[in-house]
Structures are given as structure tokens and as C-alpha cells.
Amino acid sequence: MQFKDIIGQEEVKRRLRETVRQGRISHALLFTGAEGTGALPLALAYAQYVNCRNRTEEDSCGECPECYRMQRLEHPDCHYIYPVNASKEAVATGRADEKPRSEQFVHLWRQMIPETGGYLTEQEWYARLGIENQQGIINKTDANELVRQMGFKAFEGGYKTVVVWLPERLHETAANTLLKLVEEPPERTLFLFVSVEPEKIIATIRSRTQTVALAGVADDLIARELVVRRGITAEGAEQAAYLAQGSWGEAVRLATGTEGAGGGTAEHGERFIRLMRLCYQQKYLDLFSWAEEMAPLGREVQKQFCVAGLELLRACYLTGIGLRRLAYTNPAQERFCQNFAPYVSHATVEEFVREFELLLGHIRQNGNARILFTHFAMSICKIIGTARAALK
């Protein structure tokens, strides 16, 4: 991965290059940013830049042996840790055990990083592992193996680099083991943490890192790169960039029509709209069918539905108070919001949000999905019924 492969983030790239030129390489960096903003690609590009033997003022050379191995994710001095769990894919390849390690899934890691350009989402990773219904975790086995690896000298004589993707998924015991390494790192060791939810990282680790915060990518830049790199029409690129809210990864998925397992934002929007229409029409048998369809999707997909539903509720509310320009919706969702906005008012919006948050909490606690979604649908029906009566 090279800096030139990353969309935007020019100021962050400049500061990272400056640390290398001035010999001020921090032993632990924490890259933070929403999915699709480029935190993981930047960490990978920085690791390559640090270890490149022929780097320029602007980028790694991309041709030396170090760059070749880094780009193939095969450099012996670069280690990758990411959340995993017992996986159907691992069973199929004979690599499963009771405490799975990152190393067992490195073949999938080497597939997905080139495929996505490093703009990889957590749900896409879980889908490739075959654990859509489970939560990934970084366990102590990974941490212990890392401690062992750090005890060896660097093969190439450069920096021993550790890329930890989603450190918020560290098990407590693994976090405590890793903390000792971060506190007293071996000489010429570089830890690169990449997080979407940095507030969930154990405080003792977070406090020992230097944060590299990423903002969203500008819409005009996303649109231009979609046209140049993906061959998307100018109109389609502009719409995808607007809906992506600063996420290059999401913009690519929207523009190319590729969604993860269980669907993406657009499909969750369709599920939300269907639910609201069935509730409005009081079609209770169809609502039971809707709940049956939602139940087998898996916890991670169900949580994504809740987040997408809250976003659409926000759009409806903003439309109702005359701030439609602040709502990020596609044309179909925009039409729905205009029609449904009267029912998402000051009087009802908190009730809607409360039901979504309650559902989200029960999903996280592994409640029975059929019961949860059936009760949720009936609760939404009640709120809409009350709003209709008030509008008459």
C-alpha cells in the first residue's frame, strides 16, 4: 500500500511523512476514523513507507524487496492482528480450533486488502470469515503469540511492525498482555492501531498512543475519483459521494451496487420503509412475516438495520422541520421521508428512537430475534397509530 493509493487525507499523509524524515517515529500510533475514511490503508502505507529502503520525499518506492513483501502482506517483520472467531471457512480449510488466532485467517486477509484497497468494513470481514452471526474478538492467544514474535530480532533489520485492526475488539486479558508490550516496546518496534470506535479501547492502551484522527473525505474529491478510478458517470458519482457522507468505501459500494452480507445501507432502508408502511396500514400478518425475515439475518446485520433506521428517522424529522438539505437520502428515501415526516414529530420522535435503542440493546444481549422483532413491530404500530389519531 502506498500513500498515492489513498483517497484524500493529504494533510495526514504530510504529517506522517514528516515524522519519518525528522526521525520522530512514535512507537505507537492510533489511527481513528469512520469506516471508509482510510484509517487502515493509511496505517498500511505508513508501515511500508517506514520500511522502504528507497523511499522518496512523497512515498515509498513500491519496487524494493521490502515494498514488494509489504504490498503482498508477507513481510516477515510485519504482523497483523484482527478480530476473528470460530468460523465455517476455517473448519472447511481445517484451520479451526477452540481459540482461533489471526494467523489462521491470514490467507483471507491477503485476499480482502487488495480487493477493497484496504477500505474494509468490519461486517465485510465477518462475512468473509463466515461469522455473520457472531462478534469477532482478539483473544489472549493472539497477544501471547505476538509477545513471542517480538522477542526475535528483525529479519530485515528495519522496524518490527504490528498492525492491530479494531483494537476495540480486544478481550480484556489480551489487552492487558498487549499493554505490557506497548509500555515497554522492544527497540525499533512500531505499533499501528486502527480503530473505528476509539472510546471503546482500554484506556491504558489508548493513553500510550499518539492519535492520528481522520476526517471524512470531501464529496467533490470522492466524486472525481469515482469517475477516474471506477468509471462511474459524473451524475452517479455525485449522488454516491453525497450519500456516502465522507466515506470512500461506502461511496464505492453505492456507486457499484455492491453490498455486504445481509445488505447495505440501501437495503436496510428498504426494510425500514416496508416496516413503516405495514405499520401504517396495520397489516399485522405481514408484520409477523417481516419479523420472521429479520430474525435469521444475524446480530451484526440486525444492529446495522437499527443504525440505518435511526438515520432514516433523523431524515424524516429534519424533513418535517424544513431542514431536508441536511438529510442524506437517495431519491426513493427522500420521497418516503416527505410523506412520513408528519408522523415523526416533536411528539413522537423520542418514542421511535427509544424503541430502536431498546431493540438494539436486546440484540446485543443475544435476545430471541423473532420475539424481539415482533414486539418491536407492534410497538412501532402503536406509535404510528397514536400519531395518526393526533393528526385527524
Mean pLDDT of the chain: 87
What three-state secondary structure class fits 170?
A: strand
Residues in the chain: 392
Average pLDDT of the residues in 247-266:
70
Contact 90, 104 (CB under 8 A): yes
Distance CA 59, CA 55 (A): 6
Please check the confidence at residue 164 and state whether its pLDDT lies above 80.
yes
| Residue 89 pLDDT | 56
Distance CA 96, CA 211 (A): 35
Could you say which DSSP state residue 262 is in?
T
What three-state secondary structure class fits 59?
A: coil
Contact 293, 373 (CB under 8 A): no
What would the pLDDT profile of 336-392 be if each residue is shown by its tens digit? 999 999 999 898 999 999 999 999 889 888 789 999 999 999 999 999 999 988 887
Contact 82, 162 (CB under 8 A): no
Distance CA 392, CA 304 (A): 34
- Band (pLDDT 50/70/90 cuts) for residue 95 is low
Reading the block at residue 367, the C-alpha cell is 435476545
Distance CA 24, CA 300 (A): 40
Distance CA 163, CA 192 (A): 5
For residue 349, give every residue at least 6 positions away whose Cβ sits within 8 Å of its Cβ, in sequence order, or none: 313, 317
Q: Pick the closest to residue 84 from 135, 146, 143, 141 (CA basis).
A: 135
Contact 359, 306 (CB under 8 A): yes
What would the pLDDT profile of 166-214 be if each residue is shown by its tens digit? 999 999 999 999 998 898 888 889 999 999 999 999 999 999 999 999 9
Average pLDDT of the residues in 69-88:
88
Average pLDDT of the residues in 61-87:
90
Average pLDDT of the residues in 293-322:
87
- Band (pLDDT 50/70/90 cuts) for residue 262 is very low
Please check the confidence at residue 324 and state whether its pLDDT lies above 70.
yes
Q: Pick the closest to residue 168 from 215, 126, 203, 217 (CA basis).
A: 203
* Cα separations in angstroms, 246 against 6, 9, 233, 243, 251: 14, 11, 19, 8, 8
The helix-helix angle for 299-320 and 349-364 (nearest 10°) equals 170
Please check the confidence at residue 135 and state whether its pLDDT lies above 80.
no
| Residue 99 pLDDT | 74
DSSP states along 26-41: -SEEEEE--TTSSHHH
What would the pLDDT profile of 266-296 be if each residue is shown by its tens digit? 788 899 999 999 999 999 999 999 999 999 8
What three-state secondary structure class fits 247?
A: coil
What three-state secondary structure class fits 263?
A: coil
Distance CA 159, CA 32 (A): 22
Q: Who has greater pLDDT, 88 or 328? A: 328
